[in-house]
Structure 1
């Protein structure tokens, strides 16, 4: 089964670019998340952290 998959994947043109694109998307997502965490206002973070404790 593995030989079939390997042979099939080798027949796809440009298949080596897909893992690089996935890594790039993963890296960009976490860089943006990291940036948002450090630039978010303290008031917003405090408000969001207290939401589960509030009663309507």
Structure 2
């Protein structure tokens, strides 16, 4: 089975770019998430953290 997959992947032009694109998307996503965590309003984070405990929100 693995031999079939290797032979099939070798027939695809530019197949080596797909892992690089995946890594780039992964890095960009977590870099943006990291940026958001440090720039988010502390009041907003506190409000969202207390939301599950809020009894008036049913």
Structures share fold, TM-score greater than 0.5? yes
Q: Which consecutive unaligned segments of at least 5 residues does structure 1 have?
A: none
Aligned residue pairs: how many? 56
When the two structures are superposed, what TM-score results if normalisation uses the length of structure 1? 0.98
Tell me, in whole angstroms, the C-alpha distance in 1 between the residues paired with 2:4 and 2:47.
54
For 1:44, the equivalent position in structure 2 comes to 44
Runs of 4+ in 1 over 6 A off after TM superposition: none
For 1:53, the equivalent position in structure 2 comes to 53
Tell me, in whole angstroms, the C-alpha distance in 2 between the residues paired with 1:42 and 1:2.
50
When the two structures are superposed, what TM-score results if normalisation uses the length of structure 2? 0.95
SS in 1 for 2:35: helix
For 1:35, the equivalent position in structure 2 comes to 35
RMSD: 0.4
Tell me, in whole angstroms, the C-alpha distance in 1 between the residues paired with 2:2 and 2:47.
51
